[in-house]
Amino acid sequence: MRLAARRIQSLLAAVIILVACQSCQHRELCYDHSHTSPVSLIFDWSLAPDADPSTMVVWFFPVDGSAGTRFELTRNGSTTRGNTAFNTEVKVAPGQYFLVSHNGDTDNNIERGNSFHSYHVQTYDDNILSPMNRDENAPRPDDTGSQPIRSAANTLYSHTHPDVITVEPSATKAVSVIITPREVTAIYNILITDVTNLTADTEASAVVTGVAETWHPASESPAGAEVIVPFALNHCGPDCLRGSVVLFGDNAPHDLPHKLRVYTSYKYYYDFDITDQVHSAPDPRHVDIVVHGLRLPQGSGSGMSPGVSDWGETIDQDIKM
């Protein structure tokens, strides 16, 4: 009985295997499940000939609004600046894309958002006195209570491709895309002359108010909330202070006032209205701001005395032209 049962089991197993083999269809094994196609990235630096980034970020954002694909490119073995330093070929899934590219070798710039219309570059939260390496709360300029304090930006070279990039499935020839980065951040150069009672040990910093929070590649413009950005001031002579700050620019329609507030290490601060100089600058990406006549208290010295807890009253300064 046991032998007969074993024979029946063996016969059933053979029948099952035979049926399974007849129903199978032969298919080639596929180890590449990405099914990508090549895209050739060609960089043209004619709009930013002095740029010298160490990395470039390239985003492919699907036109349907889904999450994008990010590549960060390093130099192709080249240590010198040049158009070919980042030229390369990448593999991208078939579809239609908006393409955004910018330099990625920055300390303060942060990427936010993962779709074309939500994507932007911004900076970190900051302290109003960080340029003087102090973390105490100093008075902010009037009517700026809603403006966050953000760190200065790093110079951003960005390109938003004007055309939709179409990547065909199983393409063997690469789609060529020319990327032409340009400088999109703004630099404000501040010069304060005729500073009286300025001593060698006086420390100073400043903030500029009402500037853009982000760079928005989809609109190719400054965007976001208005923010306050602190920056250092350095001595440029016995009666002169100078500083520079990189920003994302001024939000359209450019009707918000801008104030320059100068902080000193003996806890006095001074306000200048620089709205006209910002809004009338011939080049909104390179703004020169000049103010004259900052009167410091006599006998001012460096350091913020532990015995002095309050800041002196704000002193509004008329800009002498």
Residue with tokens 């990327």: 179
Q: Is the pLDDT of residue 68 over 70?
A: yes
Residue 312: band (very low, low, confident or very high) from pLDDT cuts 50, 70, 90 = low
Residue 90: band (very low, low, confident or very high) from pLDDT cuts 50, 70, 90 = very high
Q: Which residue has the higher pLDDT, 313 or 269?
A: 269
What's the whole-number mean pLDDT along residues 145-171?
95
Q: Is the pLDDT of residue 6 over 60?
A: no
pLDDT in tens, 256-301: 899 999 999 888 899 999 999 999 999 999 999 999 999 888 765 5
Q: Is the pLDDT of residue 131 over 70?
A: yes
Contacts of 312 (CB under 8 A, 6+ apart): 267, 268, 269
Alpha helix positions (H), 155-280: 275-279
% residues pLDDT > 70 (the chain): 80
Q: Nearest CA to 119 among 209, 207, 224, 7?
A: 224
- Given a contact cutoff of 8 angstroms between Cβ atoms, the answer to whether 139 and 311 are in contact is yes
Does the pTM of the predicted model rise above 0.85? no
pLDDT in tens, 192-208: 999 999 999 999 999 99
Q: How far apart are CA 269 and CA 295, in angstroms?
A: 11
Q: How far apart are CA 233 and CA 247, in angstroms?
A: 16
Q: Is the pLDDT of residue 304 over 90?
A: no
Q: Is the pLDDT of residue 35 over 90?
A: no
What's the whole-number mean pLDDT along residues 305-319?
49
Residue 254: band (very low, low, confident or very high) from pLDDT cuts 50, 70, 90 = confident
Residue 16: band (very low, low, confident or very high) from pLDDT cuts 50, 70, 90 = very low
Q: For residue 124, which phi and psi values (nearest 5 degrees)?
A: -80, 160
Q: For residue 275, which phi and psi values (nearest 5 degrees)?
A: -55, -50
Q: Which residue has the higher pLDDT, 20 or 80?
A: 80
Q: Is the pLDDT of residue 320 over 80?
A: no
CB burial of residue 186 (10 Å; 0-12, 13-18, 19+): buried
- What pLDDT is recorded for position 2? 42
Q: Which residue has the higher pLDDT, 105 or 207?
A: 207
3-7, 221-225, 252-256, 273-277, range with the lowest pLDDT: 3-7
The amino acid at residue 281 is A
- The residue extents of the domains of the chain are 37-316
Element of type H or E holding 12: helix 2-23
**Coil, strand or helix: which one is 207?**
strand
